[in-house]
Structure 1
Amino acid sequence: MRPPKPPAAQDAGVLVIGLGRFGSAIASTLEALGHDVLAVERDADLVAQWAGRVPLVEADATNPEALEQLGARDFSVAVVGVGSYLEASVLITGNLVDLGTPQIWAKAISNEHARILQRIGAHHVVLPEADAGARVAHLVSGKMLDYIEVEDGFTIVKMRPPKETQGFTIAQTKVHERYGVTIIGVKSPGEDFVYAEPDTRISANDLLIVSGHADLLERFAARP
């Protein structure tokens, strides 16, 4: 009997399928950061638009043979940026699952779409519009300048300091005792970011990096 064929090295980088707004942003950013990336797009106009800007091939990723031919099996991470066409999104994700891609990120346009992608084997499902809408809702409602929900309500925000904290050290403000949130860093204009210490003094022009439960952060950020 012949010995089994060893698995592919899977070190070719990131495969990005679909060069719409979502996929092209991921591919171009990865390229700018120096990561190995290969984009796959079947629309000839988009291929022409992105030719020379990111490494790409024109192919139909709903066809498993096309993915095999372009070496998709060698990639450790794949991003399915095709969201508007449900059938294509599902077929491409299924093809990647069949290839044994270790990490599959897929774009969804609805909760139902997301559930389907998860059921067929996508490891990470992203709903860009829903996520962006929720994030912006938090930003427009207070002093928050950036908002990242990590998991289970635990959130990290960038925000302006409430008046009651300005001119005082973190220990003096008693923010954690009073509001249940933790100031983890302070960025003063023209100075490097510093991790917060009890004697770190907060000024009106500083930016605070604060962590805690989303509800508690909302309350803290609503302070005048």
Structure 2
Amino acid sequence: MPDKKAPEKNAGVLVIGLGRFGSAIAATLDRLGQDVLAVERSPELIAQWSGRIPLVEADASNPTALEQLGARDFPVAVVGVGTSLEASVLITGNLVDLGTPQIWAKAISAEHGRILQRIGAHHVVFPEADAGSRVAHLVSGKLLDYIEVEDGFTIVKMRPPKETQGFTIEQTKVRDRYGVTIIGVKSPGQDFVYAEPTTRISANDLLIVSGHAELLERFAARP
């Protein structure tokens, strides 16, 4: 039998759809101790996740089913259904009708995303496109990690260019020369430290650097 958890008033996050995207969100929230309830209509996925996260078997495209499972009490809902455009739109519309304060919806194309926004989704996520963009930055240069925050502002993890090795951050003048900011340094076997003007960079360090994506790419391309 599926695990059913009656949501309390002002409960946490309702996650609809237990594909790779939805299940990753639900499992992570549950591991972090957040109140979460997953909704899935596939018996196979219900069986796969039963006993691992709080869940209920229901068709969220049916507004009556959402009412019965207490969806109205959740301040945040994530629509992880993406392969079926019709189901995604119906579920999102149902949540809008319920007055859900925050609706996060997965989209698989720009057109899909525009539809979700027009019917009332507060946040539209493009996981495949975002992952593809991130990987492209990683495989094309020297970046070890890449997170775009907003409007091109990005934070990266990278190896220090040779011209910075053996010098303090103040001596490198990275901000003046490249328009990026070193915000942290991780030396082997040492704790991460926030960067100060006197922080010295060695060849084996990892740098955490922020700035516009194009400027970071130029800095990371230095030998």
**TM over 0.5, shorter chain:** yes
Cα deviation for residue 74 of structure 1 reads 0.6
User: Match of 1:98?
Assistant: 97
1:83 corresponds to which letter in structure 2? G
Q: 1:18-57, aligned counterparts within 5 Å?
A: 18-57=17-56
Give the equivalent residue in structure 2 for 1:173.
Answer: 172
What letter corresponds to residue 208 of structure 2 in structure 1? I
**Residue aligning to 2:4:** none
Q: Write the distance in 2 (CA, Å) between the matches of 1:101 and 1:168.
A: 53
Measured after TM superposition, the shift of residue 212 of structure 1 is 0.6
| Cross-structure match for 1:131 | 130
Structural RMSD (CA): 1.2
In structure 2, what residue type is equivalent to 1:118? Q
Identity of aligned residues (%): 87
For residue 120 of structure 1, what is the amino acid of its counterpart? I
Deviations 1:184-206 (A, max 9, x none): 11111121111100000011111
Q: Do the aligned partners of 1:10 and 1:76 also contact (CA within 8 Å) in 2?
A: no
- Between the aligned partners of 1:10 and 1:218, the Cα distance in structure 2 is 47
CA deviation profile, 1:4-59 (whole Å, cap 9, x unmatched): xxxxx852110000001110111111111111110000001110110000000000
Q: Which residue of 2 aligns with 1:158?
A: 157
* Aligned partner letter, 1:208: L
Displacement after TM superposition at 1:69 (Å): 0.5
- Residue of structure 2 in register with 1:223 after alignment: 222
Equivalents in 2 of 1:189, 1:206: separation in Å? 7
How far does the alpha carbon of each residue in 1:160-200 deviate from its partner, in whole angstroms, 9 at most, with x for none? 11111111100011100110100011111121111100000
Conserved in 2, the CA contact under 8 Å of 1:186 and 1:208? yes
Deviation at 1:141, TM superposition (A): 1.5
How far, CA to CA, are the matches of 1:221 and 1:21 in structure 2? 32
CA shift, 1:140, in A, is: 1.1
Deviations 1:61-107 (A, max 9, x none): 00011001000011111000000000000000000011111111100
For residues 166 and 141 of structure 1, the distance between their equivalents in structure 2, rounded to whole angstroms, comes to: 23
CA distance in 2, matches of 1:203, 1:37: 44
Task: Give the aligned residue type for 2:80.
Answer: G
**Equivalent residues in 2 for 1:57-68, closer than 5 Å:** 57-68=56-67
Q: What SS class does the counterpart of residue 112 from structure 2 fall into?
A: helix
Gaps of 5+ in 2: 1-7
User: What 5-or-longer segments of structure 1 have no aligned partner?
Assistant: 1-8
> Counterparts of 2:68 and 2:171 in 1: how far apart (Å)?
64
**What is the match of residue 114 of structure 2?**
115
- For residue 16 of structure 1, what is the aligned residue in structure 2? 15
Aligned partner of 1:84 in structure 2 is 83
Asked if the contact 1:38/1:56 (under 8 Å) is kept, the reply is yes
Residue 120 of structure 1 and its aligned partner are, at CA, apart by 0.5
SS in 2 for 1:92: helix
Count of residues paired in the alignment: 217
SS at match of 2:48: helix
Structure 1 residue ranges (4+ consecutive) displaced by more than 6 angstroms after TM superposition:
none
User: SS at 1:212's partner residue?
Assistant: strand
Whichever residue aligns with residue 48 of structure 2, its letter is: Q
